[in-house]
Amino acid sequence: MQDNMSKLSDIATDSTLSPAQKAHFLSLEAENMLPYPALDTATAAALEERVICDMYEGHAPYRPRYVLPDYSVVLSRGSDYLELPVPETLDEAVNTLMIAYHHVPSITGMPVYIGQLDDLLLPFCDGVTDDELYRKIRLFWRYLDRTLPDAFMHANIGPTDNRVARTILRVDAELKQTAPNLTFLYDPDVSSDDILAIATRNIVECSKPHIANHPLHAATFDERGYGIVSCYNVLPIAGGASTLTRVNLKEVALRAADEADFFDNVLPQYLELNFRLAESRIDYLFNESNFFSSFLVEEGWIEQDRFTAMYGVFAMAEAVNTLQAKERREGSYGFDPVANDLGLKISRFVAEAVQQRPMQDVWRDRAMLHSQAGLSVDVGVTPGIRIPYGTEPDPVTHIEALAAHHEYYHSGISEILTFDETIRNNPEAMLQLCKGAFACGFREFTANVASNDLVRVTGFMVRLSDIKKFNENQGSRTNTTVLGAEAADIVGILERRPRVVGNELYPGYGQ
Amino acid sequence: MNSTPGTVSKILNYSCVDGPGNRLVVFLQGCNFNCQACHNPHTIGQCNHCGDCIPACHVDALSMVDGRVVFDPEHCDQCDACLDACPIDANPMVSDHTVADILALLHKHKPFLNGITVSGGEPTQQLKFVIDLFAAIKAAPELQEITCFIDSNGHLGASGWEKLLPVTDGVMLDIKAFSQQLHGAMTGKSNHRSLRSAQILRAAGKLHEIRFLLVPGKTDTDEELNQLAEFLGELGDDVQLRLNAFQHHGVRDAARQWEKMSEEGVSLAAERLRAAGISNVVTPAVYV
């Protein structure tokens, strides 16, 4: 208890945190003074050894990890609870959303999903001139970045080519803010070549938007649709994800004698423990926390039975290389066909296990597989199924090496392609690579241009110039994936936390 | 496909600096210029099998078999020590590729590609191979969207272009210098044929861009820039001009003594050319 008290005191008196940031960390510490939801011995031991991981979500899951409200509900019916009338003008619609966002919880306390903005706002745009629309969106964007400063907050647009989507892309490229994150849903049969070209030019400008393969995702979900939130998690609208638990494939591989032992014994054992970890947390959320008595359920923004369990894997590269060594094979993940086939076999094996394992209080009774992008405390492991930082082959080889995995990762596969800045003079190349990736079965296309000020670190956005302020040596870095690998170092470098952060990435105070 | 194979120095699946969009690039070995500023001089010569490179290889990927240097790509770790050891700016790692080999690569990577570019060396030195390759691409129904580009020094004569252009979509043409004396000193050849090629390509509608390498004190002088502006003015002032900045990466010792071209220097030259009426000037995205 003395330790706890001094940690609380450290937070309360910290010279670098704002009062709101202090309140956030204090609440995390208080939550973690509660006992953990009941776990059996084997699951508790695997969690303790971090072979499986709860993303440090906290001891008392009193809200789902990710909530994706159907915002069309509040825009079409208003809200009794929030005393909001039905909006009739664009200003009223934007104002209603601005209010709504502050009542949407998530693991970080910030909304991770702010809606399919073009679908939501287009009905209010009749009679609004292009210039008015531009000025209103610009103010809206500034508001979002300044009042909800979390880089995991995510807006979606597309697949149609429309005024709102175009205006958002224009404003996003002009302002180059870290928040909100943005995804364009691309459908070759619906989206125009023009708007895809604008989106890829934006990537060259500011490493946003993320581009999603809409037909592939749409087929995975139902008619209510899906949203892409936070760091590329694909989840049902009017629901979300109760929890995300993940398996460290490297740690599993280290515990196996050889490849056969890995598939026959060790991997199935830890996969099961990761299911149990999720179940225990979901049980608390559904049966103890009273979360679903919220007005969000009562008014129909979300539905209790539309929350999935995200089933994450990471450190695929290290797992494959570990098994290759145990089998005395030389080739490494990302380059060698045998190693790549082994990686694919692992993805297929885990996907099969997820498909076969029923889960209670989970959308469609099954978890959804996710390639998990990492936390700042991950050391010596590569996010998800990515090829290790700094060793990635050229973008074409890179995409071809990983494309076959994509069909298995229904709740998202966080993949980042890094381009050197020569692509600035040739955005057409980016456009073609995006089309090529989708033709190969990629679910999503995320790109960084090495010299952009605004870059992704494991998946959320930071401004390099912010980092540079705190360490002159950082100015010479050009490969942003290296920055990602060293996310923990970066946080150390930032003596004062930036105003806009990715809260999800940090397990707690002092980490 | 019975055509002569191409002598290939390197193939890239991905390039965004060799023409419009993403392109498969085939670097053909051998050049008829000997540019002091060449940034990949190991593509200039053709191997004469002297064997001087063999002891330089630390992984035994090179050997002498029946009087010829044989390269084993399986063992190569791409340290490039053999290139440094070569006395004639050749490359023992070159390999022969047939038209069918390149077509197979195009089929494999097609969804990612806007086209193919043959570069070098000087690709028109292997004219028959390039014509056969491009003709085969044009004849393949499933490769109709692949455009065929050439990166050339323009030393090819009019009759050569006449055979090549019907199967070519665009040419990136290097002009090294305008003063005869300077061009001779920098390349070992006259620039008459390069300038003539620019006119032939423009008339055929196949001139994608002119590339001009800015070297401080040599090609960024008032005389050179004035002649460049005048030449482009006659050619058509909407011709795309790509200004490249001389850098030390890859160049041989003599040229390493030259000053590197700064971003400011390129901007100054670009401003001058734009002021002279050249509307389409592209400057580098990166300075290294």
CB contact at 8 A, A181 and A151: yes
Q: Which residue has the higher pLDDT, B132 or A423?
A: B132
Interchain contact, B114 vs A423, CB within 8 Å: no
Cβ contact A426–B16 (<8 Å): yes
Of A428, A436, A451, the CB nearest to B112: A436
* Residue B238 pLDDT: 87
Amino acid at B162: E
Bridge pairing between strands B68-71 and A460-463: unpaired
Residue A315 has pLDDT above 50, yes or no: yes
% of chain B exceeding 70 in pLDDT: 99
Q: What is the mean pLDDT of chain B?
A: 94
Residue-wise pLDDT tens digits, A236-247: 999 999 999 999
Band the pLDDT of A302: cuts 50, 70, 90.
very high
Residues of B in contact with A426 (CB under 8 A): 16-17, 20-21
With a pLDDT cut of 90, the percent of chain A lying above it is 70
Q: Which residues of A touch B285 (CB under 8 A)?
A: 421-425
Identify the pLDDT of residue A480. 29
Q: Which residues of B touch A423 (CB under 8 A)?
A: 16, 285
The Cα A255–Cα A262 span in angstroms is: 8
pLDDT at A476 > cutoff 60: no
Distance from CA of A449 to the nearest CA of B (A): 12
Average pLDDT over all residues of chain A: 88
Q: Do B284 and A436 touch (CB under 8 A)?
A: no
Of the residues B11, B12, B13, B22, the best mutation for testing chain A's interface (the one with the most A CB atoms within 10 Å of its CB) is: B22
Is the per-residue pLDDT at A472 higher than 50? Answer: no
**Using CB atoms, which residue from A397, A429, A439 is nearest to B22?**
A429
Residue A188, min C-alpha distance to chain B (Å) = 13
| Residue A255 sits at the chain B interface (C-beta within 8 Å) | no
Task: Please enumerate in sequence order all residues whose Cβ is within 8 A of that of B106, keeping only pairs 6 or more positions apart, or say none.
Answer: B24, B113, B116, B137, B143, B146
Structure tokens at A207: 């490493």
Amino acid code (one letter) for A474: Q
The SS3 of residue A263 is helix
What are the distances in angstroms from CA A230 to CA A145, A378, A461, A502? Answer: 14, 18, 11, 9
Residue A501 DSSP one-character state: B
Residue A467 is predicted with a pLDDT of 54
**ipTM of the assembly?**
0.87
Q: Per-residue pLDDT for A473 more than 50?
A: no
From the list A352, A455, A501, A332, the residue with the least C-alpha distance to A401 is A332
DSSP state of A451: T
- Give the residue from chain B lying closest to A434, CA to CA: B112
Q: Does A432 touch chain B (CB under 8 A)?
A: yes
Q: Report the alpha-carbon distance of residue A123 to residue A90 in Å, rounded.
A: 8
CB B154 within 8 A of CB B194: yes
**pLDDT of res. A351:** 98
Work out how many CB contacts closer than 8 A connect A with B. 63
pTM above the 0.90 mark? no
d(CA A138, CA A232): 24
For A108-153, the pLDDT digits (tens) are: 888 999 999 999 999 999 999 999 999 999 999 999 999 887 778 9
Q: What is the DSSP string of A63-118?
A: S-SEEE--THHHHHH-BTTTTBPPP-SHHHHHHHHHHHHTT---TTSS-SEEEEHH
Cβ neighbours of B13 in A, within 8 Å: 394, 396-397
Give pLDDT, residue A128.
98
> Which residue of chain A is at minimal alpha-carbon distance from B12?
A394
Give me the pLDDT at residue A16, please. 81
A395 to chain B: closest CA residue: B14
Q: Is residue A511 over pLDDT 60?
A: no
* Interface contact A426-B17, CB threshold 8 A: yes
**Partner-chain contact B111 A451, CB within 8 Å:** no
Closest-CA residue of B relative to A425 is B285
B179 and B219 Cβ atoms separated by less than 8 Å: no
Task: Compute the nearest-CA separation of B276 from chain A (Å).
Answer: 23
pLDDT of residue B249: 81
Facing residue for B112 by CB, picked from A396, A425, A451: A396
Over residues B76-120, the pLDDT tens digits come to: 888 889 998 999 999 999 999 999 999 999 999 999 999 999 998
Query: What pLDDT score was predicted for residue A127?
Result: 96
What is the b/e burial string over A244-259, where b = at least 16 CB atoms within 10 angstroms of the residue's CB?
Answer: bbbbbbbbbbbbbeeb
Query: In chain B, where does DSSP find H-type helix?
Result: 81-85, 99-109, 127-139, 158-164, 180-187, 192-203, 222-235, 253-256, 263-275
Asked if residue A4 has pLDDT above 80, the reply is no
Domains of chain B: 6-42+95-282 (3.20.20.70), 50-85 (3.30.70.20)
> Poorest-confidence range of A299-308, A346-355, A379-388?
A379-388
pLDDT value of position B2: 58
Q: CA B94 to CA A410: how far, in whole Å?
A: 44
C-beta atoms of B21 and A432 within 8 A: yes
- Give residues 355 to 414 of A whose Cβ lies within 8 Å of B: 394-397, 399-400
- For the beta carbon of residue A365, count every other beta carbon within 10 angstroms: 11
CA distance B19 to chain A (A): 9
Best residue in B17, B18, B247, B286 for a mutation probing chain A (most A CBs within 10 Å): B286
Instruction: Say yes or no to pLDDT of B213 above 70.
Output: yes
Q: Chain A interface, mutation test: which of B112, B208, B287, most A Cβ atoms within 10 Å?
A: B112
Say what percent of chain A tops pLDDT 70.
87
Model confidence pLDDT, tens digit, residues A216-234 = 999 999 999 999 998 789 9
Q: Does B287 score more than 80 pLDDT?
A: no
Tell me the two tokens of residue A181. 């994150």
Q: Are A67 and A106 in contact (CB under 8 A)?
A: yes
Per-residue pLDDT at A264 exceeds 60:
yes
**Two structure tokens written together for B6:** 């191409």
| CA pair distance A232, A370, nearest whole angstrom | 9
Q: Which amino acid is at A74?
A: V
Closest among A280, A285, A264, A266 to A107, alpha carbons compared: A285
Q: Do A394 and B12 touch (CB under 8 A)?
A: yes
Q: What is the pLDDT of residues A198-215, one digit of tens each?
A: 999 999 888 899 999 999
Q: What's the pLDDT at B207?
A: 98
Strand partners, A445: A211
The CA R_g of chain B, rounded to the nearest whole Å, is 19
The shortest CB-CB distance from B285 to any of A396, A421, A440 is to A421
Q: How far is the alpha carbon of A478 from chain B, nearest alpha carbon, in Å?
A: 11
* B25 neighbourhood in chain A, CB within 8 Å: none
| B108, closest residue in chain A (CA to CA) | A400
Q: What's the pLDDT tens digit per position in A360-415?
A: 999 999 999 999 987 767 778 888 999 887 677 888 988 998 999 999 999 999 78
Q: In the structure, what pLDDT confidence band is assigned to residue B183 with cuts at 50, 70 and 90?
A: very high
Position A454 scores a pLDDT of: 57
pLDDT of A488 reads: 37
CA distance B20 to chain A (A): 7
Q: Which residue has the higher pLDDT, A425 or B208?
A: B208
Q: Please tell me the predicted confidence (pLDDT) of residue A139.
A: 98
Going by their DSSP bridges, the two strands A52-53 and A454-457 should be labelled as: unpaired
Coil, strand or helix: which one is A239?
Answer: strand
What pLDDT does B96 receive? 93
Q: What is the pLDDT of residues B31-66, one digit of tens each?
A: 999 999 998 899 999 999 999 999 999 999 999 999
Quote the pLDDT of residue A468.
57
Of B16, B111, B282, nearest to A429 by CB-CB distance is B16
User: On the CB side of B160, how many CA atoms lie within 13 Å of its CA?
Assistant: 17
Instruction: State how far the Cα of A178 lies from the Cα of A151, in Å rounded to an integer.
Output: 6
DSSP track, B154-189: S-S-HHHHHHHGGG--EEEEEE--SSHHHHHHHHSS
What's the pLDDT score for residue B181? Answer: 96
- Which residues in chain B have their CB less than 8 angstroms from residue A421's CB? 285-286
Say whether B20 and A439 touch across the interface (CB within 8 A): no
Of B23, B113, B285, the CB nearest to A422: B285
For residues B220 and B212, the answer to whether their CB atoms sit within 8 Å is no
Task: Give chain A's radius of gyration (CA, Å).
Answer: 22
Which residue out of B15, B16, B108, B241 would a mutagenesis test of the A interface target, given it has the greatest number of A Cβ atoms within 10 Å? B16
In degrees, rounded to 5, the angle at the alpha carbon of residue B274 between the alpha carbons of residues B271 and B278 is 150
Give the number of other CB atoms < 10 A from CB of residue B250. Answer: 14
At B125-149, the pLDDT tens digits run 999 999 999 999 999 999 999 999 9
**DSSP state, residue A177:** -
DSSP, collapsed to helix, strand or coil, labels residue B64 as: strand
What does the alpha-carbon distance between residue A287 and residue B66 come to, in Å, rounded to a whole number? 81
Q: Which residues of A touch B241 (CB under 8 A)?
A: none
Instruction: Transcribe A285-303 into DSSP letters.
Output: HHHTS-GGGSHHHHTTSS-
**A425/B282 CB distance under 8 A:** yes
Cβ within 8 Å, pair A421-B112: no
Interface residue A197 vs chain B (CB under 8 A): no
Specify the pLDDT at position B77.
Answer: 82
Question: A197-227 burial by CB neighbour count: b if 16+ within 10 A, else e?
Answer: ebbbbbbbbbbbbbbbbbebbbeebeeebbb
pLDDT of residue A474 exceeding 60: no
Q: Sheet holding A113-116: strands in order across?
A: A113-116, A154-157, A181-186, A210-213, A444-445
What angle, 0 to 180 degrees and rounded to 10, lies between the N-to-C axes of helices A90-101 and A130-147? 10
A428, A437, A440: residue with CB nearest B21: A428
Q: What's the length of chain B?
A: 288
- What pLDDT is attached to residue A425? 87
